[in-house]
Chain A
């Protein structure tokens, strides 16, 4: 389990992130999980000083727009672009939008981090 994980809605995201910024916390990174018809997004922060880590998590439907936190933490620009092109997370108002080609080239697989049907079936059967 992740310690100090707070579950929020996507509408609460910017207000919650602002609290971290106001407390001078450092943004660490984000991670995205494919839950089938939804995406689970988690952002991690380190308190400074002390390095105490905590996290914010929300779940959105695939295709739903989520606000970018790059207006508060510019450093989130890489992970938000990455989640956009690898998972299809629709991030709105990115400070720098690489247009789906930060990591991927024109001929790369589309949304390669989403679970394939084989992966889903293997997980349901208990793995190989």
Chain B
């Protein structure tokens, strides 16, 4: 047996936008064991949500993550609405769906940029991020902000999208789709990308289920599961089918996200076409009743789970948030052993880790 060394990967590493440490046990260049260490970004948001009155928690939950901020805010509102229960207006359901898919579009563009950069394609990284700017621009135009969109309220949404904005969004989305498709075709057919990703970090169908994985990471192992199949908000009215890939490797995870990027744009275009007129919010009566509820929403990285317990006061008794990366980190214990040290970066990146989400 070759001598073993323990090498820390992170918490500061060029491919990691956020801090997580993996203690890698190596035999020469081969990884034989891994132990993840988290806790660098724990902010106690669940506790803070008990101490604030329930409407103020929207702002806190929006700050759990900078990339899917809008989805966190809307998911919080969704679980609190289930405590009454409170039905939101049909137009609000469509608006939530549109902003959720806009978030997925810019999140996947961000990830694809990071992934190709980690593989050494700096010009393609800039191309993905260049077209991502267009999505951030329409997010800013419709929601008022590029990052923390703050569109959700308990009972619906805070802002509407008027006809001029809708027309502009459709034009931009069609343009982004064309450009993204061209880039995706280069990415998934490139020899070097295949050499660096095919057969790397393999997770089988059964392993993905046993390890509780979710999102594109799960679907890249051939599991056809996506919370949007549950038909929440407007998804029940839209033509949605989960995108899967059979390989379970890093290449499959790239391919699934390339497909989901285009699908997210198609869902927005369909939602704009079908969005009904009407109110954008229903007013909740009184405080959330003494009840408990759970909800599941498909975030760009996978299933986002919120649990809320009311006690009849303006404060929640408990809020629990489980983010997709929290579910996907344990799969690294299976995916990394056996790989070369040089492949660790792209394999870790392939789960699209979001550590601020994970630690809350």
Complex Cα distance, B326 from A26, in Å, reads 14
| Interface size range on A against B | 35 or more
* Residue in chain B with minimal CB distance to A108: B42
A-B contact count (CB 8 A): 107
Complex Cα distance, B35 from A55, in Å, reads 29
Residues of A with C-beta under 8 A to B213: 26
Given contacts A48-B223, A75-B330, contact A126 B313 (CB under 8 A): yes
* Residue in chain A with minimal CB distance to B53: A128
Residues of B with C-beta under 8 A to A75: 210-212, 327, 330-331
Q: Which residues of A from 81 to 128 have beta carbons under 8 Å from B?
A: 96, 98, 101-105, 112-113, 119, 122-123, 126-128
Residues of A with C-beta under 8 A to B35: 96
We find that the number of chain B residues with CB closer than 8 angstroms to chain A is 50
Residues of B with C-beta under 8 A to A119: 50-51
Q: A14 at the A/B interface (Cβ < 8 Å)?
A: no
The answer to whether A122 and B315 touch across the interface, beta carbons within 8 angstroms, is yes
Q: A53 at the A/B interface (Cβ < 8 Å)?
A: yes
Q: A58 at the A/B interface (Cβ < 8 Å)?
A: no
* Residue in chain B with minimal CB distance to A82: B326
Residues of B with C-beta under 8 A to A104: 39, 42
The dominant DSSP class at the B interface is: mixed
Q: Which residues of B approach A to under 8 Å, CB–CB?
A: 35, 37-39, 42, 44, 46-47, 50-51, 53, 206, 209-214, 223-225, 227, 229-230, 287, 291-294, 296, 303, 305, 307, 309, 311-315, 317-318, 320, 322, 326-327, 329-331, 333, 359
Q: Which 4 A-B pairs have the closest CB atoms?
A: A127-B313, A29-B322, A31-B320, A75-B212
Q: Can you sample 22 A-B contacts with CB below 8 Å?
A: A1-B291, A1-B292, A24-B209, A28-B303, A29-B327, A48-B209, A48-B225, A51-B230, A51-B296, A53-B296, A73-B212, A74-B330, A77-B330, A78-B38, A102-B37, A103-B38, A105-B39, A119-B50, A127-B287, A128-B53, A128-B313, A128-B315
